[in-house]
Amino acid sequence: MLLRLRARFDPRRDAAPWLAGQPLAADADAFLESLETLYVVNVERNGNIIYTWKGTRGHTCIGLYDPNSQTNEHLYTFEKDLHVISCSVNNEKTLLAVSFLQSTKEVTANLLFQPVSKCLTLLIEICPINNVKVLKAVDNCIRVQFLYPVAETQTFPESCLLLISEDKYVEKFDIRIVKEGHTAVIENSSHLPKEKIADDFLWIQWDTLEQRLFYVVRKGSRDILNCVQFYPDKSFTLILEVPLEISLPDIGFKLLNLKCDYYQGQEVEPQPLNLHVFTNERGSFCICYCIAPVKPGDVTYSAFFLHKGYSKTYTVALERTDFLQVKDLTFLNLDYYVAVFLPGHFLHLLNTQHPDLMCCNFFLTGEDAKINGLHKSAIVSPLKSMVLDLGTGQLFALEISKQGLLQFLWNSKRDSDRLATLHCLLLYIGNTTELETEIIKWISENMSTCFTFDPVQEFIIASLYWRMCPEAVNLDKLLPYTSLGCWNEPIPGITCTTHIISLPVLKAQNCKGFWEKLISSLEYVKYAGPPLRFNSKVLQRELEKLHLDQTDEGKRLTMYFTTIFEYAKKVLSNLNTRSSEERLVPFFQDEDYQQQLQTGLMAAQLKDHLMRHLQYVGKKRIEQIAVDYVSKLLGLMCRIMENVWRKYNLDSWVFYLGQQGGSNEALVFHLMCRMLQAANEMCLPLPPGFHTLHTRLGVRCLPLYTLLHYIDQGVLHLTELCVLNLLKELDNTEKNEKLKLGILARLPEAIGHKVAQLPSHPLGSSTIVQTYIKLLLEKLGNKRPSTSLVDRSPAQIEFLPLNYLVTMLAEVDHQVVFLRLGGFRGTRDCEFETCRRGGTEAYGHALGPLVLRSEDEWATSSNISASPHAATSTHAERPPLSRQKNCWL
């Protein structure tokens, strides 16, 4: 199960020992009776829980439990049996506001003498117990709630009390406290200043944690949601108006988060509308509601994501309709998620940060949808991430379980569940070394089981997103949060439709905190044209352009390359500084020009992208964010490899190329192939030394013909360090000579020149020389004849024995042609001429890819149709790796 309950208040655990010592608990039977009558009536912003219980003489007692100190405190006792419907205590615990209903018998008896109000609202001095002031005496219910300052460490001389009446109005009383010795007394209690906050509303909700009052009023033909924000200095502001896309029925008085009324909860009342407002600190603003279903067996509910500018309507087809009641549908605030819970049927977790993709949400049924420890239809949520079970009086902290998520990740069969779990782990649980290790373990076992997304890509992109978003305001709108562009796969049991909605109107300016983030999100929705998130396709196009322009020696291009490599140095320096643990994987042992170019280019492109939209942050800060982003990207790849290395017990940093690799090395090699594929598709750079290590593992684990095929297809990339080590470590046996020749025939031009300058050149072997020259002649003999006259002087190359051989062949060719054809330059002469010039040019271009037929022919045959310049093509020009699973593994 994903959701876990943690008992924050249990009457038998937290209150029973204290109640047993109270004077009114004379015996065991009286104590048990008192315990059975204990009810929670309010949960204050600081977490204090106010509850009532009945004494032995019918007295009604009010107590307070502090979960931080785990202590109970007696606040007040009424010497008669009362039905307390609302209660609140101020932050200093000097004042108690109580609203209660008098019993029917008492009201009937008093009617013989004088009219008696059904509901009384009292303000009581409790430090110590002194005066009692009647605030309201009416027939309609009143709810009371003290306002709490945001900075609870500061003591304020004034307290503010909200009175919310069933007659559809809200008043605020300002109460000033004066100290008289050790006594706290209300100043001028006969005349308390008051203000009217709202009037004639249809629905109202109090947000205890954020001190906000939401209510719905009707203006003309539309229903408008208003929000009043209260501040510590007694001020308040009507800060927001939202035109609702639905028309609320006049259902009378409906309160949320202001009562825990057991008596009213036991009555069967029609609930035609279930409406809740949820916010979180990242600027998410959601309105969720449920209306009675039109079709039997279906449940329909909608969520207005005001910070996104659209709403989504979800329809769930239930497998069974026994005992189905729409009023049982509960909306719970889990901070970054909204839980839609229908006990016994389903649990839907809506990702409020990114609700656009259904795969970022959980839709669970059966055993996965259960929340153990709760009654089916007696649940209320007095605070964010809290659930009160009215049946037992237990108050629970509701949270998403880390262990439950990891277990769900391993057991899930659908890609949508896996993707939602990855995002939930990284967003809700947070990025920790322990959590990343657990996720990497799952990725290494399930790389080939996900068909709609790549787990390596998703882990890296999502991890970077949730790590970097707090670095700057609006950064969350500019960085990619998923590797997927869209999600078209249906989720069994639920359908979804999307609608554009009206944006809210903010009445206040210069807001901070939540409202500042909401305003920023609304501005993004209003004025954003094309998607503003950094796109890997742009990086891919720029990289291809750089490969085409590398031969340009212009000043602008040279300076641009210098800038790119400067960024690459900063990224690698930053990465080395951050990496404090002992490295198991032999990365950072060489400098790969291609990867340095891609690393620096990504940092430079990301910096330019952020500069266009975050000018107010500053150039230096944006540069640092871009460098940190790429550094953390490479760091995540290193962490993946470190965990894989540790899992398969590859302790040695150096693998001798003359030995055959084991099964564990083969598994690591194929995992690196998948990482390479994921990086290529997203145009992500790889850590320095990745290709060197990958090729060394390939030499140890693959047959010769497969190894050369992987090189031809771009799976393995030859680096200078790898080639030099290979030529030095391998002796000149027949098998190794075939391998060397195959590698030499595929060297990029830059590496080929360096290899040719080695003192112990690999072509010093007579066998390799003979085979190599044979390959050159066979390749050049199949070229089409040239029709132009060419220079007969042989081109000089850096290998002297080959220069001498080519010069002798050219002289023999020249004499034979003129003796046989009498000086006539016919077709045959052109073929020999082409052969001569081609032989001198081919070595300089370091041999195109070979078409290999058998294990012996793979190292000796040549690709006739391939261009001699094919081997000089860059990594970006190689054919892309197939997206199909196991196509080349």
Q: Would you say residue 395 has pLDDT above 80?
A: yes
CA pair distance 491, 497, nearest whole angstrom: 13
Residue 460 phi/psi, 5-degree rounding, is -70, -50
Give CB contacts under 8 A, 24+ apart, made by 854-859.
854/705, 855/703, 855/704, 855/705, 856/738, 858/704, 858/705, 858/708, 858/709, 858/738, 858/742, 859/704, 859/708, 859/738, 859/739, 859/741, 859/742
Average pLDDT over residues 158-171: 92
Instruction: Give the phi and the psi of residue 495 in degrees, each rounded to 5.
Output: -120, 155
Secondary structure in 3-state letters for 288-330: EEEECCCCCCEEEEEEEECCCCEEEEEEEECCCCCCCCHHHCE
User: Between the ranges 265-269, 404-408, 555-559, where is the mean pLDDT highest?
Assistant: 404-408
**Listed residue (371, 370, 482) closest to 422, CA to CA:** 482
Looking at mean pLDDT, say which of 187-191, 300-304, 767-771, 823-827 comes out highest: 300-304
Averaged pLDDT for residues 799-819 = 60
- Nearest-CA neighbor of 709 among 888, 833, 847? 888
**Distance between CA atoms of 604 and 590, rounded to whole angstroms?**
22
Higher-confidence position of 554 and 177? 177
Neighbours of 78 (CB within 10 A): 18
> How much is the pLDDT for 728?
80
Give the tokens for residue 508.
Answer: 């206040």
pLDDT of residue 647: 87
| Of residues 851 and 403, more confidently modeled | 403
Q: Is 75 domain-assigned?
A: yes
Q: Which residues of 842-868 are buried (b: 16+ CB within 10 A; e: fewer)?
A: bbebbbbbbebeeeeebbbbbbeebeb
Phi, psi angles (nearest 5°) of residue 640: -60, -45
What is the three-class DSSP state of 83? Answer: strand
CB atoms within 10 A of CB 407: 14
Query: Between 415-424 and 402-411, two packed helices, what is the crossing angle to 10 degrees?
Result: 160
Q: Token pair 């009937």 is at which residue?
A: 108
Residues 855/418, Cβ–Cβ less than 8 Å: no
Angle of the 402-411 helix axis to the 433-446 helix axis, nearest 10: 10
pLDDT at position 725 over 90: no
pLDDT at residue number 155:
57
For 871-885, b/e burial (b = at least 16 CB within 10 A) is: bbeebbeeeebeeee
Q: Which pLDDT score is estimated for 263? A: 46
Q: CA torsion sign, 30 to 36 to 41 to 46?
A: positive
Q: How far apart, in whole angstroms, are the C-alpha atoms of residue 566 and residue 12? A: 66
Q: Are 203 and 248 a contacting pair, CB within 8 Å?
A: yes
Q: Does residue 119 form part of some domain?
A: yes
Reported as a single tens digit per residue, the pLDDT across 596-611 is 889 999 999 999 999 9
Q: What percent of the chain has pLDDT over 90?
A: 30
pLDDT digit string, tens, across residues 291-324: 766 677 788 999 999 999 999 999 998 877 665 5
Judged by DSSP in three states, 178 sits in strand
Q: Which sign, positive or negative, has the C-alpha torsion 292, 295, 300, 304?
A: negative
The answer to whether the Cα torsion of 872, 590, 636, 674 is positive or negative is positive
Residue 877 DSSP label: G
Q: How many domains does the chain fold into?
A: 1
Q: Over the Cα atoms of the chain, what is R_g? A: 38
Residue type, 400: I
- The stretch 379-395 carries a mean pLDDT of 86
Residue 843's pLDDT is 32
Amino acid at 262: Y
In contact, 572 and 688? CB cutoff 8 Å: yes
- Model pLDDT, residue 872: 36
Flag whether pLDDT at 742 surpasses 70: yes
Q: What is the pLDDT of residue 239?
A: 93
**Confidence bin at 259 (pLDDT 50/70/90):** low
What is the spatial distance between Cα 860 and Cα 851, in angstroms, rounded to a whole number? 9
pLDDT given at position 642? 87
**Of 658 and 645, the one with more pLDDT:** 645
**Stretch among 92-106, 519-533, 579-593 having the lowest mean pLDDT:** 579-593
DSSP 823-846: T---HHHHHHHHHHHHHHHHHHTT
Average pLDDT over residues 508-512: 79
Question: Is residue 72 in some structural domain?
Answer: yes
**How many Cβ atoms from other residues are within 10 Å of residue 768's Cβ?**
19
Tokens of 658: 């003359």
Task: State mean pLDDT over 825-851.
Answer: 37
Q: Which residue has the higher pLDDT, 418 or 507?
A: 418
pLDDT of residue 634: 92
Residue 234: what pLDDT?
80
Angle, vertex CA 757, rays to CA 753 and CA 762, nearest 5: 95
Q: Is 735 helix (H, G, I), strand (E, B) or coil?
A: helix
pLDDT confidence of residue 821: 47
Residue 313 lies in a domain: no
Average pLDDT across the chain, whole number: 78
Q: Which helix (H) or strand (E) holds 265?
A: helix 262-266
Per-residue confidence band for 212, with pLDDT thresholds at 50, 70 and 90: very high
Q: Are 800 and 832 in contact (CB under 8 A)?
A: no
Query: Tell me, what amino acid is at 875?
Result: H
> 605: Cβ–Cβ under 8 A, 6 or more apart, which residues?
534, 538, 539, 542
H-helix or E-strand spanning residue 255: strand 255-256
Measuring CA to CA, which residue among 89, 72, 87, 79 is closest to residue 56? 79
pLDDT of residue 548: 72
pLDDT exceeds 50 at position 272: no
pLDDT for 827 beyond 50: no
Whole-number Å distance between alpha carbons of 207 and 229: 10
Could you tell me which residue, 550 or 421, shows the higher pLDDT? Answer: 421
Burial tier of 621 (Cβ tally within 10 Å: 0-12, 13-18, 19+): middle
Confidence of residue 417 (pLDDT cuts 50, 70, 90): very high
Lowest mean pLDDT among 32-41, 290-299, 617-626, 687-696: 290-299
Residue 836, number of CB atoms within 10 A of its CB: 23
Find all residues with CB under 8 Å of 264, minimum gap 6, and list them: 85
CA gap 288, 302 in Å, rounded: 6
Sheet holding 129-138, edge to edge: 83-89, 95-101, 119-126, 129-138
> Nearest CA to 862 among 781, 797, 794?
781
CA distance 574 to 628: 7
Evaluate whether residue 39 is within a structural domain.
yes
Q: Name, of 305-314, 379-388, 582-591, 716-725, the range with top average pLDDT.
A: 305-314
State residue 133 phi and psi, 5-degree precision: -115, 135
- The residues near 220 (Cβ < 8 Å, ≥ 6 apart) are none
Query: What would the pLDDT profile of 359-378 be if each residue is shown by its tens digit?
Result: 889 999 888 888 877 766 56
What stretch of H or E contains 126?
A: strand 119-126
Asked if residue 254 belongs to a domain, the reply is no
Residue 179 maps to a domain? yes
Phi, psi of 362, deg, nearest 5: -100, 135
Predicted local distance difference test score (pLDDT) of residue 304: 94
Residue 805 binned pLDDT confidence (cut-offs 50, 70, 90) = low
Rounded distance between C-alpha atoms, residue 699 and residue 704, angstroms: 8
In the block, which residue shows the tokens 């035109």?
Answer: 243
* Lowest mean pLDDT segment, chosen from 157-166, 230-239, 343-352, 756-765: 756-765
Residue 211 has pLDDT above 80, yes or no: yes
Closest Cα to residue 206, out of 349, 6, 381, 28?
Answer: 381
Kindly report the length of the chain.
889
Burial of 401 (0-12, 13-18, 19+ CB in 10 A): middle
Maximal C-alpha separation, the chain: 145
Burial class (CB in 10 A: 0-12, 13-18, 19+), 771: middle
Q: Which domain holds residue 14?
A: 1-200
Split at pLDDT 50, 70, 90, the class of 825 is very low
Query: How far is the C-alpha of 162 from the C-alpha of 170, rounded, in Å?
Result: 7
Residue 767 confidence (pLDDT): 55
**pLDDT attached to residue 55:** 79
Terminal Cα-to-Cα distance of the chain (whole angstroms)? 36
* 870 has a pLDDT exceeding 50: no
Task: With respect to residue 85, please indicate whether it lies within any of the assigned structural domains.
Answer: yes
pLDDT band at 536 (very low <50, low <70, confident <90, very high): confident
- Dihedral sign computed on CA atoms, order 465, 469, 471, 474: positive
DSSP letters of 456-481? Answer: HHHHHHHHHHHHHGGGSTTGGGTS--
Which tens digit of pLDDT belongs to each residue from 612-651?
Answer: 888 888 889 999 999 999 999 998 998 898 888 888 888 7
Tell me what pLDDT residue 804 has. 60
